[in-house]
Structure 1
Amino acid sequence: MNLHEYQSKALFADYGIDVPRGQVAFSAEQACAAATALGGDRWVLKAQSHTGGRGKAGGVRVVEGLDSVAAVASELLGMRLVTHQTGPAGLPVSGVLVEEVRPIARELYLSALVDRASARILFIASEQGGMDIEAVAAEQPEAILTCSVDPVVGLQAYQTRDLAFAMNLQGAQVAALGRIMQGLYRLLLDKDLSQVEVNPLIVNEAGQLLALDAKINIDDNALYAHPDLVELRDLSQEDATEAAAREHGLSYVTLDGEIGCMVNGAGLAMATMDMVRLHGGMPANFLDVGGGTTAAKVAEAFKLILADDKVKAVLVNIFGGIVRCDLIAEGVITAVKEVHVAVPVIVRLEGTNAEAGRTMLAESGLAIIAASDLDDAASKAVEAARA
């Protein structure tokens, strides 16, 4: 789960990390009121959307005068912001962050994330922050600095100093970076975050460090422990089908293909998608119904797959270990009848009560294509989608 910039900055402030003064607005009138409250005659308006690259896409604008605030806010609000991270459809903008303008002497980069390979929190930094940080990482990997935190002793002062010196910070800036890193470290641990990013972390005209931007990604598996964060979720920024799947306890990821896949178990799901590609097809989704699924959950999964109008065939591949294949068959039959499926359905069942499940499907009177094994199922699904 991601947070908007204004939400992330509110958490930053709670942990002692300096951020520019600003207010979020959901209308042009609110934007003008926010600018008036901040004072001055120049402000930054930032489209609130869960994507990077907003500046290059026209989602960050510096304006002068309240008339310009109203005009730019009206332009940003309601638009779909398209960046290199969103795809051609873009993401909707329903809020605008109005901030004071802070002069920039230097732009730095700083982030902290959970590094699964080392099972530690890893800080990543660079003295070349800003919109082109991806290019810096690709073209000048030596400019990317890292700091791994031992979970037993936590983030140490010498580590923050080493990173500060490597970023060419001096004097009070060294201690300031230490406070920011300690704040990010506590925030990441307290809120069960998977990543937090500051890009850019600026040095202003007075030599002070300030988080000019803020991005937070929360581990979905820990949301049960943070109801306050759940309330910050903006479903308009998420794939509607994936959000609906989550409500039914299903693991679903939308893809660009034409063959809908319904499988139990993430590993088997990946293998099924690989087999579809091997036979020349393209999966329309990743969908894991889980090991202890029910007929009702299978029916809901089927409906989610068929909600994608690109789907030309559905491949159901179930191994009955914990789950019984006859329950899966019942769910498939229920879903096909309820949704009035107009595309071919290929089903491969193996494991507990597999024979009973196959019998139920054969006697259902529905146009369901049976498959003997995974290779056969993938081949038939690709063939059916091309017909």
Structure 2
Amino acid sequence: MFGSSSCRLNYAATLENLRIGSKTRVIFQGFTGRQATANAQESIAWGTNVVGGVTPGKESEHLGLPVLPSVRRAMDELKPDATGIYVPASKATPAIEEAIEAEVPLIVAVAEHIPLHDMLRIHSMLKTQTKSRLVGPNSPGIISSAKGERCRIGFQPLPCFSDGCVGIAAKSGTLSYEAVASTTRAGLGQSLCIGVGGDVLPGTDLVEALQVLEHDPNTKGIALIGEIGGDGEILAAQWITDYHARTPLAQRKPIVALIAGLLAPRDRVMGHAGAFWLPGEPAPNQKVMALRGAGVTMVNHPAKIGPALRTLMEDGTVQPPVGEIEEGAAFDSTDDFSTAISGGRPSQQRRGLHTSARRPSNISLPSRPQLRASSQQTRGLHLDTQASKQLLKEALLGLELQYHHCPTHYLALCIDRATRSQCLMTAIHTNPKSLLQPSRYDKILLPPSAKDVLALDGTETWHEIVTTLMAKLQISERPGSAAAADSVGKLLRDLGRVFRDKEAKYVGLQFGMPHNDKEKQKTTFPVYDLRIELDDAAARSAGRLADVHYRYAAKEARDPGAREAKAEGIVYHRLSPGNRAHNIGTLVNGAGLAMNTVDALAGHGGLAANFLDTGGKATSETVRRSFEIILKDDRVKVVFVNIFGGLTLGDMIARGIVLAYKEVDIRVPVVVRIRGTNEEEGQRIIAESGLPLYAFDDFEEAAEKAVELVSGVSAAKKVAQAVHESEGKIAELKKSIQLAAAGMLPVGGSEPSEEAAAPVDEATESPCGKTSESADDAPKQGDMAQEHTGKPRDSEKPEVADTIETLGSDHVA
């Protein structure tokens, strides 16, 4: 059997370790570092039971607590229940492995950019043990806010939290902070918040978080936050369907969910290492459909989570699932499940022994255009067909491949996020639309004991995999010849070597019908498309394969501005560059929040010109550079700054905005919303800056203003042209009225009466019905930046033309 259920059950025994509270004994790895020190001080003050920490080679005291040189020593002497790992990504892998070997019950890793193949190795360790549970990496951590049970292991913004009853499971840190603030404002507070994180292979996934929240006695309602990438949200929908089926209606905990990245391009990595789409995975809208069909209340912005949960909890109603699913049914794909749970009736089939789903065998040979390659990744190095061919040629691999232009069969070696291991994907497509249908793909899972596919070479399982591949790809063997099987085996080895040796996260190709070469007694494959995704964290964090990434990075196509943004630690994508209707520039901290900002603006009728994530280590200089990059896109008419800080500080963002006004020629309106860590100081800086900014506390109001402003800017030229054209007509009309009035004079001659002169005054008013303001009535610069409490009055705000004119002068102190 190729499945990995037994290993998953072993690791599942550690789920209870996620139940943290005031008695949880916490240590810090990297304890004496600047970030860990500041975090520990905050956590201790908040009520976390920190008992000490670890710094390699040191044995001393820090913050009045013991510092030990190894996790093993700390485990023996301090008896911790959990460890928070606060070390750079380059040191995170050995730190996690050390904690696993020491059998620390709960390990929380907040670092991002941990190499994918390091995480594969870590998960191979986790699968075979029952002591340690991992949260992260690329996660804000885990926090208990239940009354009397405070415990924080992470960098969540504490001012937003309050004692309460809402459990949160989230891929995105910033969106989880928004959900926390929303539930606090709704008077619900929080119980247990599990930051699953945005990594490709998280230590705890959404389903596991839901399992814990189901049984948490302090949790009365659940917020679920997902995003583009993987099928975890579909699995969550399946779990919720089962949960509703086994739980009486009156006892069900209401669930409200949000999916970020509905408008994210499928060919790019959206900030988080795991926020990307691959063939065979569900699209974000399919995730929404599946969750809604499972009885989940869906919202389009996290600020709505609190009110939605409060309504559900007060009414005592939980929407039942729409569809009725046959017990024990399995589906060809995640979108088939979505259809079924929404009331449809796709084919329900038994799971096969070797694959995640069986497909009908009577498939006609497909003919379809080339799969568009991903050319905009920033958290991975994408090699197009030509560069991928060069890499294979240099390694003397793939010699059987012949390159053509019309793919029909699909084979890829990639990652199965659910089992946290390598897998093979196969498909035969009949039309271009099938590219986006998960039902067209079959997944072949490896045995849990296998380190990778190459470890199976020469075994009976290897031969079973080759036979399965041939059946799935409809590759027939000529009677009396083993050429096809040998060639498929050779191809599989080559894919495995590229995946392993180059630390890839995806190696896929599309090809036509294999050709049997009678003279050479082998089968060749006419390849139409080849795509390789390299994990840039291997070079960035671990210094491995730096030469490969250096040589091939130059071959990778990028958005204008994306390459310089990456050099600053910024993730930037220009959206729909050929469409000038995309004219709202966005500057956001956090990948999830940045994706949702793009989605939510569309809900208000606005189209974002870009996706920009400042990164977790953003500085004021980062903000200034972000403005420069955004404004290089001449489509941008308004810049929308949306910040909810965790590690990112609100006051630092505010200073960056002020710095940008001093050093960047900003000639468009700027809408600012700052929440989270140091939000009050950030809002104060904005309010006292004297800059022509529109500052808001509420996202909906800020988004509405951005859309309103961009509509005004877009119409400004038309209005100016209309006014110019009307000037002549107004002058002629004025003259005509004056002549007519003159004809009404008495014979003796005198000034026209007031009644006769009135039309002249009316005719000289502007087309908008406004008379011009005097200089004394114009808004002062100090009035332009509004206080963050309440929506500013329109009379206090600068008109678009005034803003542009003001910004042309050197008015910043």
Same fold (TM over 0.5): yes
Gaps of 5+ in 1: 22-43, 47-54, 57-105
Aligned to 1:326: 651
**Residues 134 and 124 from structure 1, CA distance in 2 versus in 1: closer, same or farther, beyond 3 angstroms?**
farther
User: What's the CA shift for 1:385?
Assistant: 0.9
**Counterpart residue identity of residue 7, structure 1:** A
Are the counterparts in 1 of residues 392 and 398 from structure 2 also a CA contact under 8 Å? yes
1:149 lines up with 2:149 in the alignment: no
Decide which structure has the larger Cα Rg and report it: 2
Aligned to 2:547: 228
Aligned to 1:348: 673
Give the distance between the partners of 1:358 and 1:137, measured in 2 at CA.
46
**Residues 270 and 232 from structure 1, CA distance in 2 versus in 1: closer, same or farther, beyond 3 angstroms?**
closer
Indicate the percent of aligned positions where both proteins have the same amino acid.
Answer: 32
1:125 lines up with 2:422 in the alignment: no
1:174 lines up with 2:485 in the alignment: yes
Give the distance between the partners of 2:627 and 2:385, measured in 1 at CA.
36
Are the counterparts in 1 of residues 401 and 524 from structure 2 also a CA contact under 8 Å? no
Are the counterparts in 1 of residues 670 and 693 from structure 2 also a CA contact under 8 Å? yes
**Residues 254 and 140 from structure 1, CA distance in 2 versus in 1: closer, same or farther, beyond 3 angstroms?**
closer
1:183 lines up with 2:494 in the alignment: yes
Name the one with the larger strand percent. Answer: 1
**Residues 108 and 370 from structure 1, CA distance in 2 versus in 1: closer, same or farther, beyond 3 angstroms?**
closer
**Counterpart residue identity of residue 554, structure 2:** D
Give the distance between the partners of 2:658 and 2:622, measured in 1 at CA.
12
Give the distance between the partners of 2:548 and 2:686, measured in 1 at CA.
44
Gaps of 5+ in 2: 1-380, 454-460, 577-581, 713-813
Are the counterparts in 2 of residues 19 and 212 from structure 1 also a CA contact under 8 Å? no
- Determine helix, strand or coil for the equivalent of 1:216: strand
Q: Which of 534, 540, 555 is the equivalent residue of 1:218?
A: 534
**Counterpart residue identity of residue 273, structure 1:** V
1:245 lines up with 2:583 in the alignment: no
- Determine helix, strand or coil for the equivalent of 1:237: coil
Aligned to 2:469: 163
Aligned to 1:209: 524
User: What's the CA shift for 1:354?
Assistant: 2.5
Q: Structure 1 stretches (4+) deviating beyond 6 angstroms?
A: none
- Determine helix, strand or coil for the equivalent of 2:644: strand
Give the distance between the partners of 1:262 and 1:347, measured in 2 at CA.
9
Aligned to 1:17: 398
Give the distance between the partners of 1:346 and 1:139, measured in 2 at CA.
39
Give the distance between the partners of 2:583 and 2:508, measured in 1 at CA.
36
Are the counterparts in 1 of residues 400 and 524 from structure 2 also a CA contact under 8 Å? no
Q: List per-residue Cα deviations over 1:43-76 (Å, max 9, x = no partner).
A: x9x9xxxxxxxx48xxxxxxxxxxxxxxxxxxxx
User: What's the CA shift for 1:211?
Assistant: 5.8
Higher relative contact order (CA 8 A, sep 6+): 1
**Residues 276 and 232 from structure 1, CA distance in 2 versus in 1: closer, same or farther, beyond 3 angstroms?**
same
Give the distance between the partners of 1:5 and 1:107, measured in 2 at CA.
16
Task: Tell which deviates more after alignment, 10-19 or 331-340.
Answer: 10-19
Give the distance between the partners of 2:616 and 2:436, measured in 1 at CA.
40
Are the counterparts in 2 of residues 177 and 209 from structure 1 also a CA contact under 8 Å? no
Aligned to 1:116: 417
- Alignment of structure 1 residues 288-307 onto 2, 5 Å: 288-307=613-632
**Residues 310 and 117 from structure 1, CA distance in 2 versus in 1: closer, same or farther, beyond 3 angstroms?**
farther
1:3 lines up with 2:318 in the alignment: no
Q: List per-residue Cα deviations over 1:149-172 (Å, max 9, x = no partner).
A: 235313341211221244233122
Give the distance between the partners of 1:237 and 1:189, measured in 2 at CA.
24
Q: List per-residue Cα deviations over 1:316-369 (Å, max 9, x = no partner).
A: 112233232221111111112322111110111223333332232233332111
- Determine helix, strand or coil for the equivalent of 1:199: strand
Instruction: Please tell me the root mean square deviation across aligned C-alpha atoms, in Å.
Output: 2.9
**Counterpart residue identity of residue 465, structure 2:** Q
Give the distance between the partners of 2:447 and 2:644, measured in 1 at CA.
41
Give the distance between the partners of 1:133 and 1:198, measured in 2 at CA.
17
Give the distance between the partners of 2:531 and 2:604, measured in 1 at CA.
40
User: What's the CA shift for 1:246?
Assistant: 0.7
Q: List per-residue Cα deviations over 1:120-157 (Å, max 9, x = no partner).
A: 3232335x58xx77456579966x54422235313341
1:194 lines up with 2:500 in the alignment: no
**Counterpart residue identity of residue 377, structure 1:** A
The aligned length equals: 303
Task: Tell which deviates more after alignment, 280-289 or 147-156.
Answer: 147-156
**Counterpart residue identity of residue 190, structure 1:** D
- Determine helix, strand or coil for the equivalent of 1:232: helix
**Counterpart residue identity of residue 120, structure 1:** S
1:313 lines up with 2:617 in the alignment: no
